[in-house]
Structure 1
Amino acid sequence: MKKQRLVVVGGGSTYTIGMIMSLIEEKAHFPLKSITFYDTSAERQEKIAKAAEVILKDKYPELESFHYTTDKEEAFTNMDFAFVQIRTGGLAMREKDEQIPLRHGVVGQETCGPGGMAYGLRSIGDMIEVVNDIRHYAPDAWILNYTNPAAIVAEALRREFPEDTKILNICDMPAAIMVSYAKILGKEIWDLVPEYFGLNHFGWFTDIFDKEGNRLTDDIKNAITKEGFLPEDSEIVNDPSWIKTFKQVETMLHDFPDYLPNTYLQYYLYPGDMTAKEDISNTRARQVINGREKRVHELSDTLTANQTTEGADLEVDIHGCYMIRVAASLAYNTRDTFIVIVENNGIISNMPSDAMVEVPAALSSDGPKPFAVGEIPRFNKGLMEGQLAFEQLVVDGYYENSYNKLLQALTLNRTVVDAPTARAVLDDLIEANEGYWPELR
């Protein structure tokens, strides 16, 4: 097997240590020649990178090269894969994304509703720049993008790079849900074969099978309705917010029992409840700042000081493993099945062909081969069409510098609906995002 040269774009992310542990766990499937971190913030990246250096020295001694840089040419020249995980504006802007909508009585969440729009408009320009930079130095490299909000970013990249067949947009949330299904069934996630359709953070599992073709969907539904549903991914298993999120699946399944829902649908199906439970002074962003970010930075400092992983609390997470298995399937043409984001082109026959949909696909060395879904029911189609219009209008607003398109988008979004509220939220977001968003007219 050829050893791959990997660049992690956004090396200063608090998810990067988990990614390193996943690369170590998965090295038999995706062997590496080199790992490079690239970030625009030298200080943020250095803290994580110094810790990663210790981990790799102890647990991946056969790796030929590890380094970190803020220089684009140094990072991207001659690479094979880029894993892209940027957060324009950082957690400070995420907190504003969540607080501003809450002040107006609507959902405050980083990828859904007004917060998702704000984050998306900040992400688009930086993502386009990253792709252009990579293509300048590594025209044939695979770009695996899991920058949020994935739906809006994927739509913008579809328009900006229509001929680039080596950009793959992906989200780990379906995988995180499948880990919990696997726990219910006493299996591993890799034993499960999902049937799924939707938009990113807006979809449904229609069926779950095992590798032998046995249908397991009803077993999962019965277990959830009788015994509850909990997160199992190591990154979120003990997180009170995620525990509440998975608990909401029981309600969604009770109200709409046909399919198993993506957890993010709670924000669109029960926006009033989701808004009421939030604390504007302790949003999810604040919890991450005081929780995961603090924990990861303390762990990094300890690893750097001790120069050993002995006694360190290091865990592999599905976020990284899923991405790595995707990369392995592309690199070595294994044609394994993963849920990814692709242009519809008839996959869901009663949705627009230009929609960026999230569906299972076999991943080969020449890209994803999506499986046909066919027609979807009217209820799901209606929900998806509204959400798709929102996403596409946001990207229209970015390219056209259009206040009106963004107002239309927020008015359509199920978390807002009310036009005067949409206008008030939009005006506050414009002020908060000065210097990040395009100048609107």
Structure 2
Amino acid sequence: MKSSSITIAGGGSTFTPGIVIMLLDNLDKFPIRQIKFYDNDGDRQEVIGKACEILLKERAPQIKFSYTTDPEEAFTDIDFVMAHIRVGKYAMRELDEKIPLRYKVLGQETCGPGGIAYGMRSIGGILEIIDFMEKYSPNAWMLNYSNPAAIVAEATRRLRPDSRVLNICDMPVGIEELMARIAGLNSRKEMDVRYYGLNHFGWWNSIRDKQGNDLMPKIKEHVAKYGYTFDMGHHQHVDASWNDTFHKAKDVFALDPDTLPNTYLKYYLFQDYVVEHSDIEFSRANEVMEGREKTVFKAAQDIIDKGTAKDCNFHPDEHASYIVDLARAIAFNTKERMLLIVENEGAIENFDSTGMVEIPCLVGSEGYEKLSMGKIPQFQKGLMEQQVSVEKLVVDAWITGSYQKLWQAMTLSKTVPSASIAKKILDDLIEANKEYWPELN
């Protein structure tokens, strides 16, 4: 079995240690000869890098490891870039969440005005990493799971159309794990799903086990009563805010009981509820900074101080196992069926052909083949047309530096009540993002 060389872009991320452990847990399926970290924040990366260096030395000494802020060093001699960057880090996420809340509009990392602000920051960072990869390892593939994935995917479609980039998200994976438990299965891999939508904006319309038995009735019965809440023990999303999101799925489901919804639809369909249950003093970003960020960096520092990763407090990121599946599918041409964010081009018959949709694809060494989803219902189509237009206008604004386009994007978002409120939020976000956004005219 051939071994791969990987660069993790976003080496200082709180998710990086979990991804490393998950990669180590899967070496029998996906052998690795080299792991490199790349981040433009050297100080932050150093703590995670030093800890992971000790961890790898103890658990997989055969893997060559390094971390760097130098693009040439990071992107030379690699097969895969696993990209999960956060331009502006959690400090900017906090502003994405709190600025809209000043105007009684929901503050969320990837949805509404906060998602638009984050998208405007992310586009340049992702394009830069694609360019580094193509310059130093032109045959490598980039597996991009940086948020907000929908806007980033639209930008790569328009600005790097020939690049070897696969855009993917872990949220459906996490929900499918919950569905599998509800259906009495051990893993989502025991299911075949049909799903359509945009990133963080989609619906399952068929879930069957490998024998072809329909699992939808059993899952729907559970979701109608409890949403996706289900006791899973150690789970990536266990904070109070996530429990609420899983529970609220029951109300989203009630709107269209023919399908099962992505949890993020609560932000678009129940904005008033979300605002009412938001704390402008302590948003999700604060929850993460007080929780996961402190926990992960403390665990990393403990490893450095002790000089050993034995009994360390790093946990594998189970959600990230789909990244191994994706890399394996390319490396070994497995034709695995996976949800990717791809240009529609008729896969959903009655939807914008250039829209970046999230649908099942078969992945192999040449990339992916899309599965046809046929026609979708008017309700979903209407919501998706509105949201895909928001995403396209954001990318227009980034490319042309147009204030007008970004105001239109903000106004068109289902989360924003009026053009005047959109303008106030936009002006505050421009002020907050001076360092990160292109200048708007």
| Alignment correspondent of 1:238 | 238
| 1:178 to 2:173 alignment | no
Deviates more, 1:355-364 or 1:224-233: 224-233
**CA–CA distance in structure 2, aligned partners of residues 350 and 390 of structure 1:** 19
Shift of 1:435: 2.1
| 1:275 to 2:275 alignment | yes
| Alignment correspondent of 1:393 | 393
| 1:158 to 2:124 alignment | no
| 1:77 to 2:76 alignment | yes
C-alpha contact 1:180 1:233 (8 A) present in aligned 2: no
| Alignment correspondent of 1:17 | 17
Shift of 1:235: 4.8
**Post-superposition CA distance 1:55-107 (Å, at most 9, x none):** 222322332x0110111111111100000011111100000000000001101
**CA–CA distance in structure 1, aligned partners of residues 294 and 420 of structure 2:** 38
**CA–CA distance in structure 2, aligned partners of residues 239 and 219 of structure 1:** 26
Shift of 1:228: 4.6
| 1:187 to 2:186 alignment | yes
Please tell me the residue identity of whatever aligns with 1:269. L
**CA–CA distance in structure 1, aligned partners of residues 399 and 181 of structure 2:** 44
| Alignment correspondent of 1:115 | 114
| Alignment correspondent of 2:332 | 332
| Alignment correspondent of 2:295 | 295
C-alpha contact 1:113 1:416 (8 A) present in aligned 2: yes
**CA–CA distance in structure 1, aligned partners of residues 138 and 147 of structure 2:** 24
C-alpha contact 1:175 1:318 (8 A) present in aligned 2: no
C-alpha contact 2:252 2:266 (8 A) present in aligned 1: yes
**CA–CA distance in structure 1, aligned partners of residues 410 and 227 of structure 2:** 33
SS in 2 for 1:282: coil
SS in 1 for 2:2: coil
C-alpha contact 2:335 2:364 (8 A) present in aligned 1: yes
Deviates more, 1:207-216 or 1:303-312: 303-312
**CA–CA distance in structure 2, aligned partners of residues 425 and 212 of structure 1:** 51
Shift of 1:212: 2.1
**CA–CA distance in structure 2, aligned partners of residues 167 and 326 of structure 1:** 12
C-alpha contact 2:175 2:228 (8 A) present in aligned 1: no
Map 1:51-66 → 2, pairs under 5 A: 51-63=51-63, 65-66=64-65
**CA–CA distance in structure 2, aligned partners of residues 194 and 438 of structure 1:** 40
| Alignment correspondent of 2:253 | 253
C-alpha contact 1:176 1:233 (8 A) present in aligned 2: no
**CA–CA distance in structure 2, aligned partners of residues 234 and 160 of structure 1:** 40
Please tell me the residue identity of whatever aligns with 1:207. S
**Post-superposition CA distance 1:149-169 (Å, at most 9, x none):** 0000000011111122x2100
| Alignment correspondent of 1:43 | 43
| 1:229 to 2:228 alignment | yes
SS in 2 for 1:391: helix
CA 1:234–1:140: 2 relative to 1, 3 Å: farther
- Report the TM-score, using the length of structure 2 for normalisation: 0.97
Please tell me the residue identity of whatever aligns with 1:67. S
**CA–CA distance in structure 1, aligned partners of residues 227 and 149 of structure 2:** 28
SS in 1 for 2:350: coil
Deviates more, 1:235-244 or 1:393-402: 235-244
| Alignment correspondent of 1:102 | 101
C-alpha contact 2:363 2:369 (8 A) present in aligned 1: yes
| Alignment correspondent of 1:439 | 439
C-alpha contact 1:267 1:274 (8 A) present in aligned 2: yes
**Post-superposition CA distance 1:189-209 (Å, at most 9, x none):** 221211100000000011111
Shift of 1:233: 8.5
Please tell me the residue identity of whatever aligns with 1:11. G
**CA–CA distance in structure 1, aligned partners of residues 132 and 234 of structure 2:** 33
Shift of 1:186: 3.0
**CA–CA distance in structure 2, aligned partners of residues 131 and 384 of structure 1:** 28
Shift of 1:284: 0.5
Please tell me the residue identity of whatever aligns with 2:174. A
SS in 2 for 1:263: coil
Please tell me the residue identity of whatever aligns with 1:397. A
**CA–CA distance in structure 2, aligned partners of residues 28 and 50 of structure 1:** 25
Please tell me the residue identity of whatever aligns with 1:214. N
SS in 2 for 1:148: coil
C-alpha contact 1:335 1:364 (8 A) present in aligned 2: yes
Deviates more, 1:425-434 or 1:301-310: 301-310
C-alpha contact 2:226 2:247 (8 A) present in aligned 1: no
**CA–CA distance in structure 2, aligned partners of residues 49 and 435 of structure 1:** 27
| 1:149 to 2:148 alignment | yes
Deviating 4+ runs (over 3 angstroms): 231-235
Deviates more, 1:206-215 or 1:70-79: 206-215
**Post-superposition CA distance 1:353-387 (Å, at most 9, x none):** 11100000110100111100011000000000000
Which segments of 5 or more consecutive residues in structure 1 lack a partner in the other structure?
Answer: none
C-alpha contact 1:234 1:317 (8 A) present in aligned 2: no
Q: State how many pairs are aligned.
A: 439
**CA–CA distance in structure 2, aligned partners of residues 188 and 134 of structure 1:** 34
**Post-superposition CA distance 1:120-147 (Å, at most 9, x none):** 0011111111111110001110001111
Shift of 1:237: 4.2
Please tell me the residue identity of whatever aligns with 1:196. Y
| Alignment correspondent of 2:417 | 417
**Post-superposition CA distance 1:207-251 (Å, at most 9, x none):** 111222222111111122345522649453431111111001111
| Alignment correspondent of 1:216 | 215
**CA–CA distance in structure 2, aligned partners of residues 302 and 212 of structure 1:** 48
- Report the TM-score, using the length of structure 1 for normalisation: 0.97
Please tell me the residue identity of whatever aligns with 1:155. E
| Alignment correspondent of 2:346 | 346
C-alpha contact 2:126 2:152 (8 A) present in aligned 1: yes
| Alignment correspondent of 2:7 | 7
Shift of 1:254: 2.2
Note the aligned Cα RMSD (angstroms): 1.3
C-alpha contact 1:143 1:168 (8 A) present in aligned 2: yes
**CA–CA distance in structure 1, aligned partners of residues 36 and 336 of structure 2:** 26
SS in 1 for 2:416: coil
SS in 1 for 2:264: helix
Aligned-pair identity in percent equals 46
